[in-house]
Amino acid sequence: MPESNGDERPTTSPRGRHTGGFATRAVHAGERAPKPDFTPTVTPIHPASSFFYDDTETLDAVFANERSGYVYTRYGNPTIRALETAVASLEGTADAVAYSSGMAAIHAAILLDVRAGDRVVAARDVYGATYAILTKLFANLGVETVFVDITDLDAVRQTVERVRPSLVCCETVSNPLLRVADIPALAGIAHASGARLMVDNTFATPYLVRPASHGADTVVHSGTKYLGGHGDATAGLIAADAERCLALREQAKLTGPTLGPFEAWLTLRGIKTLPLRVARQSESAARVARWLAGHPDVEAVYYPGLADLGPAAAIFERPAHGGMVSFDLRGAGREQVFRFMAALDLCMPATTLGDVYSLVLYPAMSSHRALTSEQRAGIGIGDGLVRLSVGIEDVEDITADLDAAMAVGLGRSGAPTATHDSPLASRL
Ligand code: PLP
């Protein structure tokens, strides 16, 4: 027999009064160890859907919000709480609430600030599902949305004054053209007309931009992207003040968009390396963007670090602009882009972003599929536009992969191949 390590676990019924028969012990033996005097270095995963206390009065007080604690995971859970605490800390807000996906968070955030008959003013290039939830689900509930070019502050001001919305929505860095919102100016416009400002900070992450410090009332995230960072957890987060988070928790008790404790734990683990990953991805993306800008097969490059951001530049916490780069393949349409994507060896053509892996996406096929080619062109999304989420691989390998695939995609022969030691690589 090995020596006991001091973790003496009961082999009895939950209250410890009986040992019970074989079936009873199969269910209960080893569970519910007495409260330990050691602290695990990382938050344990608590999959329990419910929690109980020594006395029923305590349970009653927790139910009544008179005492902190956990009773039921749809209401709250220690692993999920750890993630919420981390995100609130990084976003600089009083609190945060976790959700089962970014869209669940966006749904909750919009629901918080609109009632039937209200109006929303939203960036015309918001993420496709955000566009759809506003124009379908919320429109059916009597909430009308007016879309506007969020970087045209005069247009935003005029629209807000005319429409008198209860909510203004935008993304810190837009998808796929990576345009940067002037959050302090937008907060000023929204608040002057009594509206709230909701900012989707998925692309920027709090490492680069903290929207609440610039006046945003609600900061939403697809935690599936940079926060988790490894492509293995689907999650969403809202960061806001204490009062709004309390209202969101009450709402979530009824609607049940609860994040799974394991996904919460994976996201929390991902967050530990967020600054390292985003610093590396920003540095690599800036190098890839400069390389693309000098490439003969590339017509235009969209990267905040290469653009004149005007006053919006001030929202960045540090001289880094994230890991997302978009570019137009010269003279390309769907056929050439498909050939390019099929020829990639390292960068994966997958419908997500923000992972440690490099990923490419064709907006005309995915996020902006519902629009006609003309509608897409109207918002600047050409049929040769490719979106790249730069991973943490060696940057020379990423550019070599892009270069070789561009040669195939555009039917260029005698392709220059940028390897670690090629002249193309030395331009990085
Ligand atoms: N917000 C942005 C900017 C996104 O890109 C996405 C997904 O791609 C979402 C929200 C939705 O997140 P999820 O897929 O986790 O629901």
What mean pLDDT do residues 162-167 have? 98
Residue 160 identity (one-letter amino acid): V
> Strands 167-171 and 119-123: what pairing?
parallel
The pLDDT of residue 380: 85
Residues 200-236 pLDDT 10s:
999 999 999 999 999 999 999 999 999 999 999 999 9
Q: Is the dihedral of CA 418, 422, 427, 428 positive or negative?
A: positive
State if residue 260 touches ligand 1 by the CB under 6 angstroms criterion: no
Q: How far is CA 370 from CA 160, 194, 332, 373, 415, in A?
A: 26, 33, 20, 10, 35
Task: Locate the ligand 1 atom nearest the alpha carbon of residue 202 and give its number.
Answer: 3
Q: What is the mean pLDDT of residues 157-172?
A: 98
Q: Residue 290 Cα, ligand 1 centroid: separation in angstroms?
A: 27
The pLDDT tens digits of the residues spanning 35-62 come to 888 899 999 999 999 999 989 999 999 9
Per-residue model confidence (pLDDT) at position 423:
39
202 CB within 6 A, ligand 1: yes
CB 324 within 8 A of CB 390: yes
Amino acid 11: pLDDT: 79
E strand or H helix that includes residue 247: helix 242-255
60-271 sits in which CATH class? alpha beta
- Residues 230 and 273: their CA atoms lie apart, in Å, by 10
Query: For position 19, what pLDDT does the model report?
Result: 84
Mean of pLDDT over the chain: 92
Residue 12's pLDDT is what?
Answer: 79
CATH superfamily, domain 275-427, is: Aspartate Aminotransferase, domain 1 (3.90.1150.10)
Q: What is the side-by-side strand order in the sheet with 236-240?
A: 95-99, 236-240, 218-222, 196-200, 167-171, 119-123, 144-148
Per-residue pLDDT at 424:
40
- 340 to each of 130, 330, 362, how far by Cα in Å? 29, 12, 10
224 lines ligand 1 (CB under 6 A): yes
The tens digit of pLDDT for each residue in 405-427 reads: 999 999 987 555 544 444 344 34
CA–CA separation, 75 and 61 (whole Å): 14
Instruction: Calculate the CA dihedral of residues 384, 387, 392, 393 and round it to 10 degrees.
Output: -20
100 CA distance to ligand 1 middle (Å): 12
Q: Is residue 200 exposed (0-12), middle (13-18) or buried (19+ Cβ within 10 Å)?
A: buried
For residues 253-272, average pLDDT? 98
Is the distance from the beta carbon of residue 174 to the nearest atom of ligand 1 less than 6 Å?
no
Mutate to test the pocket of ligand 1, among 199, 222, 351, 359 (most ligand atoms within 8 A of CB): 222
Q: How far apart are CA 334 and CA 311, in angstroms?
A: 36
Residue 4: its pLDDT value, please? 66
Q: Does ligand 1 lie within 6 Å of residue 171's CB atom?
A: yes
pLDDT of 88:
98
- Please write the tens of the pLDDT for every residue from 69-126: 999 999 999 999 999 999 999 999 999 999 999 999 999 999 999 999 999 999 998 9
Q: What is the pLDDT of residue 425?
A: 40
The closest residue, in CA terms, to atom 1 on ligand 1 is 222
Residue 427's pLDDT is 40
- What DSSP letter does each residue of 137-185 carry, written as one string? IIHHTT-EEEEE-TT-HHHHHHHHHHH--SEEEEESB-TTT-PBP-HHH
| Spatial separation of the C-alpha atoms in residues 26 and 293, rounded to whole Å | 65
Q: What is the pLDDT of residue 3?
A: 60
CA–CA distances in Å: residue 131 to residues 145, 151, 216, 280: 9, 17, 19, 31
For 8-24, write each residue's pLDDT tens digit. 777 778 888 888 899 99
User: What is the per-residue pLDDT for 61?
Assistant: 92
Q: How many CA atoms lie within 13 A of 57 on its CB side?
A: 0
Tell me how far the alpha carbon of residue 174 lies from the centroid of ligand 1, in angstroms: 12
**Region 276-297: what's the mean pLDDT?**
98
Residue to mutate (ligand 1; options 175, 198, 224; most atoms within 8 A of CB): 224
* Confidence check: pLDDT of 387 > 90: yes
DSSP for 48-100?
-SB---SSHHHHHHHHTTSS---SBTTT--HHHHHHHHHHHHHHT-SEEEEES
- 258 in ligand 1 pocket by Cβ < 6 Å? no
**Residue 236 Cα: closest atom of ligand 1:** 15
Q: How far is the CA of 407 from the centre of ligand 1 (A)?
A: 31
Quick one: pLDDT at residue 414?
Answer: 54
Mean pLDDT along residues 373-386? 86
Active site residues: 74, 127, 200, 225
> What residue ranges do the domains of the chain occupy?
1-34, 60-271, 275-427
Instruction: Check: CB of residue 398 under 8 Å from CB of residue 390.
Output: yes
Q: Is the pTM of this model over 0.85?
A: yes
For residue 344, the model assigns a pLDDT of 97
Would you state the pLDDT for residue 420? 43
Stretch 272-286: mean pLDDT: 98
CB 90 within 8 A of CB 206: yes
Distance CA 203, CA 389 (A): 10
pLDDT (mean) for 175-179: 93
Tokens of 242: 């204490």
Q: Is the minimum distance from the CB of 222 to ligand 1 under 6 angstroms?
A: yes
| Residue with CA at minimum distance from ligand 1 atom 14 | 102
